[in-house]
Every structure is written in structure tokens, then in C-alpha cells.
Chain A
Amino acid sequence: MPTGDLFQLLNLAPDAEAPAIESAFRRLTRRFSRSAVPEAGIEARRIQAAYDVLSDPTQRSAYRNAPPPPTPPFKAGLHVSRAQVTPQSEPQIVYALVEIAAIGASAEAPAPAANLCLVIDRSTSMNGARLDQAKAGVNAILDGLRPQDTCSVIVFSDRAEAVVTAHKMSDEQRRLARSKVSTIRAGGGTEIMRGLLRGLVELHGQLNTKAISQLVLLTDGQTYGDEAECQLLAALARADGITVHGLGIGDEWNDRFLDQLAAATGGAVDLALTPEQVADFLRKRLHILSDLAAERVHLDVIPDAGAELIEAFRFTPEPSPLAFPPHELALGQLPRSERLSVLLKFRVRIEADGPCPIARLVVVGDAAGPGARRARITLEVEATAGPGRVTAEPPAPIVAALRRLSQIRLQERAFTELQSGDVDEATRALTVLGTRLLAAGQSDLAKMAIAEARRLEKNSSLSEEARKRIKYGTRALAGLEG
């Protein structure tokens, strides 16, 4: 029998009877058979299974009389940018903001164990301060681990080795790990795939549903020729419920590559210029353990025929672009104390009046704590098409989200214009970004953007460090409320 609320799966009230069940099933089957994404087939099978139970009067009453499925550990809400649209031949844009929040007082549940792997780049360029920063960060996190937590440390250059293999963090193991970390020396090239693979092997030996598996990659470099293999490993990690995070040290690392890698698993990426920033980033990986409502959270997006998902961004808990396809967007963990909020941008073609479904969204996550169970919540993004110009204002949370996203787009635009050689446009975009940041009260980042715009105007080039600081600075702002 399928899991979750079968009536909800068919968009029905719990007291629905045969005719309603029949027509809901037909409508949904028609919608999903015309969707362009493969995830629609999976959802269609789920709907078929639910229909098989609910369409049979005996099974239906048995289902109704069975104890209700446990309440999910979270609730999910939806804002859509426009409830009403005007049919036209051109495609249109519709935004949806999904907010997932923990419910229930599970605060007394014991914090789950960490299954953590730190993968450290020890290529020649890490020599000196950078490697010291990484080591200091690792030591700080070793101190924060509890006896039930497992931790391993991998170093890699053009080959990888486990400096500390996966062990529970007893005091003795901690001492041993610290002394082994202190022996790490720099030397060799950078082949991220090797480090990643070795790290996943360590995590794999400790996989269990009661532990939160995370891999943190600390690197200062670019990897050459093994990007595709790395992406493949990220996809495997995600299938195992492992979140991959990336921390870039210095200014030469490949931020786009690291972003893609982390986004595929619901992880986060940041820039570290000081030892404190390394330690802070690592500490965040432990903080979630004592504040966990659900893990392995993902959002399945099944666009209707004529609709297409073109952008996805997570604002909280850690701001990051989200990767798709697959249209099963990995979101990582849901904290108890903070919402998980995701903005989706759809391009839709609406040519006739009437109700127009845009996408089905399914929030899936494993409840934390004892008796861990999977929960699903179904949401429908829809609008009504009718004649006449629509002037209603978009909902405030969508406006607030987009205002923050537009800053990220401005900096992206500045850097893509610069790459394509249009210094004037790049300067303009950075200047506009600066003024908008200023208006938002972010004077430090604003000053940096404006100063860089000036430098760009004069020298027609921009330092990598400035580019990354502005990029990750604006991204961090997107996670702040308001």
C-alpha cells in the first residue's frame, strides 16, 4: 500500500466518495501523463496505487477506519506570485515560494549522531597559512564532537588517503585524530574526485538512518578533467542521503563547480578568508544536530504540460541555488528553529481561460528522532486564467524573496558581462548593486561593490577575491529575514 495520506495524494478531502475519487484520478492521470519530466511517471504510479485502494469500497472503508497516519513533523505552505493570469501566446512567469516549518514539540528527542567526513585539499598551493587554517578548523570541530559522533579526515592531492578513518569520537580517538591532523603536509596537485570518492567510502561504512551524514570539502584549487566524475559522485551521495558541503579557501577555487556539487546534494558553499570562517562553517554542520526536525528533505517538482521550472533557490536555512534535473530538489536538513524556504520560477504557456495547474510540489522528509518516519506533503501551484489585465500586487513574502534574489542576479550579471568583455555593463551592474545594497542598509557590502565598480572602470578587471566576496556576501544576505 502507498504511504502518506491517500486522499491528499488525489487532492481530495478525507470524506470524498466514489464520483469525486474517480474524477480526481482521471484529472491527475491526464496531467501527469502530459508532463515533460520523468518524475511525473513516479507520481502517476503513486496516484494509481492510491486510486486502487480508494476506488474499492471495501478497501476505502478499511483505509478510513485504520489508525490515521502519524502527523508529519513539518507543515508546508505556498505563496504564488499571481493568482490570476491573462491568457496569451507568449510564455509568462509565475513564482512560487514554498515554506516548510517544523511542527510538534520534539525538542526532548535526543540529538542524532553525526557521521561526518572532512576532506582536505593538501595540494602544494595549500602550503602555509591555508593548510594551517584548515587544520585549525578541523581541530575546532573535533573538540565539538560527542562520543556518539563518527568522524573521518581525508586528505587528497593527486591521490587520497584517510588520515583518520571513521571512528566514534572517544577522548582517545580525539587525541589520536588531533595528532594525525598535525602531521598533514602540503604537496601535489588537486584531484577533487579522489578526495570525494575516498570520503564517501568512509561515510558509507557508517550510513544509518539515525545519523546525519555530511561531507565537507575544503579546497583552494580547481580540479581538472574530473568534474563530471565529481558530479556523478555527488548524485550517488545524494541517493545515500549524504549532504556535500564545500568551503573555498583563498581566491583561486572554482566556485561554480563547488556550487554545483553542493547543490546536487542540498549542501552549502562558502568562502573562507580567515581561520574563524573555516571553524564557523564547520560548526554549522554540528549545530544542525541539536536543532533537527527532519532530514533528507527534498522537494519534487512536477510541472504540468506547458510549464517549465527554470530557477530554484533556497533562502533559508542556508542560501543556495538548487540544482535540477532531477526534479527532485535536494534541500538537506530542516531545522526546528528556522523555516526552510525555497523560491521556484516557472515559465508557463497559458492560452485559454479557466483554471490552470502549473505544477505539483511534493515535500518529502524523514522525521528526526526515534521512530524515524518518512512524511510527504502535496502542494499544487495553480492560477486562474481570465480576460483583462491583472493588477493585484504579488504576496509580500514573494516580493521580499525576489528583492533579495535580484541582488544576487545583479552580481551574477556583472560577472557574466565582464567575462563576455562588456566592462561598461559590468561596471553599471556592480554600481546598481552597490546602490541597492546601500538602500537595504548593507553599507559594508555596498561599499565593496561600489569600490570594485570603480576599480573595474579604471582597470577593466576585477580581483577573484573581490568577485567571490561579493558573490558569497550577497548570497549570505539572501538568508537574512526581512
Chain B
Amino acid sequence: MITCPSCRHTELDGELYCTTCGAQLWGLAADATVTIAPARKFATEPKPNTSARTAPTPPPLEALIGDADRSLPVPPGAIGLRLIDADTLLTLQGKDAYIIGREAGAESQPDAELGAHGGRDLGVSRQHARLSRLKGQVLLEDLGSANGTWLNGEPVNAGTPMRLENGDLVKFARLLVRIEFGS
């Protein structure tokens, strides 16, 4: 049996897309993190935002449907990770710290599973980064990932947590995510 990482529906082995939510089910159990050549890693990096705390440029998605955000609101108190390319919202709530990565077997499931959304091909590590709540703030730290984490274009170093704000753009390796706090 395969459990869909997105909606938890179970499918028979060999199913390629979840029959309930359409999420990709193949490639979930791959072992190694895909290593991205460093040159490419930097070449695709967004320009560092000099005024890091201003609102980031909205992705072109919203140009098509003005209120796409409201269609899937982040519940109050939760942290939302909007995967820009997959157009998927992952919500995290109920814990003080969350591991972001990709599935590495039944015993160590990350809180935010990016493997099902192309994370493996985009170089996301199994234990890639951690989001934690501290004194009303949300902090992001890299967990020594193979291909790095960026906040609004600036590298996030392992062991040095950075404060997140609503609308920040974070890249886990090459996977782009917008942070959305539930109001």
C-alpha cells in the first residue's frame, strides 16, 4: 500500500497518482538527495532583495485568478507553505517545531513533505530545514541540507535561525515556497 503524502488516502502499490487528490505518488521512496551542481544553484537564485522586509513580488499565478489565495485560506494560527510551482498549499499547525524535507521511510516522516511536489528532483534533502515558533515569532533554520536554503534570496545558514514574516519567499534547494501566516 502507498499512503498519499498529500491527503493520506491509501492506494495499491503501483498507483502513480492519488485517485483522490491527484498528487504524484511515484518516486516517493527514492534514496539519495539529488545533488545540484553549484553553478546552477546560484544561477537560478532570485536577486537578493535589498529591503528584505518589503512585500515580495507576487508570483504570476495571482495574475490569472485574482483571489486564488482566498480560495484556500491558511487556518488561523497555522503556518502555510505555498509551493509556487506545484500550486499547492501545505499547512502546519499544532506543534512548536516542524521538519521540512521529503519522505525517508515510514519512521521519519517530515512535517512538510516536499518529495511529492517535485522536491526530490529539485534537490530537497530528507531533513532539509526546521521551522519553529519562539515567543510569537517563526524562525527558519537550515539543517545542513545538501543544496541549501534561501530566505528572500539570502542564504540561511545551518544553526543560524532567521525570522520569517508573512509573504516571505523561501527556497529549499530549488523549490520555491511562499510563507503565509493564518490570520
Binding site for B on A (CB under 8 A): 81-82, 85-86, 88, 90-95, 347, 389, 391, 393-394, 398-399, 402-403, 405-407, 409-410, 413, 429, 431-436, 438-439, 443, 446-447, 450, 453-454
Contact B16 A439 (CB under 8 A): no
- For the complex, is B76 an interface residue (Cβ under 8 Å from A)? no
Closest 6 CB pairs of A and B: A93-B14, A406-B22, A406-B17, A92-B13, A92-B14, A435-B87
Contact A93 B17 (CB under 8 A): no
Interface centre among B13, B18, B29, B86 (most CB of A within 10 A): B13
Interface 9-residue window, one of B64-72, B90-98, B153-161, B169-177: B64-72
CB < 8 Å A-B pair total: 84
Contact of A93 among B15, B21, B72 (CB under 8 A): B15
CB distance from A349 to the nearest CB of B (A): 10
Contact B13 A93 (CB under 8 A): yes
CB distance from B121 to the nearest CB of A (A): 10
Chain B residues 30-73 with CB under 8 Å of chain A are: 30-31, 61, 64-65, 68, 71-72
A54 to B11, CA, bound (A): 45
Contact A399 B64 (CB under 8 A): no
Contact A438 B29 (CB under 8 A): no
User: Majority SS of interface residues in chain B?
Assistant: loop
26 A–B contacts from the bound complex (CB under 8 Å)? A81-B14, A85-B13, A86-B13, A90-B1, A92-B14, A93-B16, A391-B30, A393-B26, A393-B27, A394-B16, A394-B26, A399-B26, A402-B17, A403-B17, A405-B17, A406-B18, A406-B19, A406-B22, A409-B22, A410-B22, A413-B19, A435-B87, A435-B88, A438-B68, A438-B87, A450-B68
Binding site for A on B (CB under 8 A): 1, 11-22, 26-27, 29-31, 61, 64-65, 68, 71-72, 85-88
Asked, given contacts A407-B22, A409-B19, A438-B65, whether A90 binds B72 with beta carbons under 8 Å apart, the answer is no
Contact of A438 among B13, B27, B64 (CB under 8 A): B64
A128 to B175, CA, bound (A): 55
Contact B87 A439 (CB under 8 A): yes
CB-based nearest B residue for A435: B87
Contact A389 B22 (CB under 8 A): no
Q: List 11 other contacts, CB 8 Å, given A81-B14, A389-B29.
A: A90-B1, A93-B12, A93-B13, A402-B17, A406-B22, A431-B72, A435-B72, A435-B88, A438-B87, A447-B65, A454-B71
A431 to B21, CA, bound (A): 10
Q: Which A residues lie within 8 Å of B61 (CB)? A: 438
CB distance from B13 to the nearest CB of A (A): 4
A86 to B16, CA, bound (A): 16
A91 to B1, CA, bound (A): 9
A430 to B155, CA, bound (A): 37
Contact of A91 among B12, B20, B31, B72 (CB under 8 A): B12
A389 to B2, CA, bound (A): 13
A341 to B33, CA, bound (A): 35
Q: Which A residues lie within 8 Å of B11 (CB)? A: 93
Contact A450 B13 (CB under 8 A): no
A208 to B166, CA, bound (A): 70
CB distance from B61 to the nearest CB of A (A): 7
Contact A81 B87 (CB under 8 A): no
Asked, given contacts A389-B29, A438-B87, A450-B71, whether A398 binds B16 with beta carbons under 8 Å apart, the answer is yes
CB-based nearest A residue for B19: A409
Contact of A90 among B13, B21, B22, B64 (CB under 8 A): B13
CB distance from A214 to the nearest CB of B (A): 34
